[in-house]
Amino acid sequence: MTPARRALTGFTLVELVVVISIAAIVAVFMMFFLQAPVDVFVADRARADLVDSADRILRSVDADVRTALPNSLRQSAAGGVVALELLATSGVARYYAPGEKAYLGGAQEVKEELAIGSADPSFYTFDAFVPSAVGSYLAVNPQGAGTYAMAGVMTPFASIGAPVPPPAVVPGEAWVQLPAAGFNFATGSATHSVFLVSSPVSYLCDPAAGTLRRYSGYAPAAAQPTTNAQLLAAGAASSLIAQNVTACTTLSSVAAPASNKFNQLVVLNITLGANGGETLPVFHEAAVGYVP
């Protein structure tokens, strides 16, 4: 066969099969050596996502519970969904109780002290709320679920720190003005504390949906809203805190022993899971920092 004719013949079938076989063997070995690093990367990514979700849960729940209105925590579980509700506060101040401004006498004393057990249209606080807000709720000596009904415990609304000509208000104090008819706080606070409540906050833990959501910006109600539909109908804004929730063993509030008046405790026990089979239990306890 001449060199020119040999160049035109190309590969034989045997040569082509040998090349394909060698390429397949090389590919198998490459996959074998690359699979382990890829699996490790995917597993590490899944673990990182679970840890990030756990961190968001702890930071969000802990921040809300620590600054919650005392005795405002309540929880329920129905249909696999665990619900926790609390009243978020944006400030606390000390009011002047009856007799503390006796040196003023007359109308000024009445104006600056908070009457307990009778309607009072205004009073002074020892320090100002920060930040001041118009349209927030004021609460004195909250007593559990009854606080949500507001009667004798929490005002429908209040105007905080309205401007008044000096020297009517001493620097560092605030003049709290209520509606003209006033509001009757049924019982006084042992610490003379009045709380500025911004709104209720709810958490819904739903393993079926695989989510933990936070809701805020809705009005207090005597009955606890326990579903996504109820909260959205009440005007709540929803935010996703965590995904990959596989179990909500507990998201419960524990009342203080004996006194049952402060130091409520939230026990958080949630399990997170990833598609690769990774699981992460999240256990945490958070206590209300304020006292009535």
> Would residue 212 count as lying in a domain?
yes
Q: What is the pLDDT of residues 5-40, one digit of tens each?
A: 555 556 677 777 777 878 777 777 666 665 666 555
b/e 265-277 (16+ beta carbons within 10 angstroms → b): ebebbbbbbbeee
Does one domain contain both 81 and 207?
yes
> Would residue 220 count as lying in a domain?
yes
Does one domain contain both 94 and 186?
yes
> Would residue 152 count as lying in a domain?
yes
> Would residue 40 count as lying in a domain?
no
- The answer to whether 194 and 93 are in contact (CB under 8 A) is yes
Number of structural domains in the chain: 2
Does one domain contain both 98 and 109?
yes
Does one domain contain both 224 and 170?
no
Does one domain contain both 108 and 128?
yes
pTM over cut 0.85: no
Last residue of a domain, one of 168, 197, 226: 197
DSSP code, position 225: P
Does one domain contain both 261 and 224?
yes
Stretch 159-181: mean pLDDT, rounded?
73
Does one domain contain both 158 and 191?
yes
> Would residue 165 count as lying in a domain?
yes
Does one domain contain both 133 and 150?
yes
Stretch 140-148: mean pLDDT, rounded?
83
Q: Distance of CA 98 to CAs 121, 153, 177, 192, Å?
A: 14, 17, 17, 10
Owning domain of residue 181: 89-197
Last residue of a domain, one of 173, 197, 221: 197
Q: What is the pLDDT of residues 84-112, one digit of tens each?
A: 999 999 889 999 999 999 999 999 999 99
Q: Alpha helices, DSSP H only, in 131-249?
A: 146-149, 228-233
Does one domain contain both 256 and 278?
yes
Say how far apart CA 94 and CA 114 lie, in whole Å. Answer: 10
pLDDT band at 41 (very low <50, low <70, confident <90, very high): very low
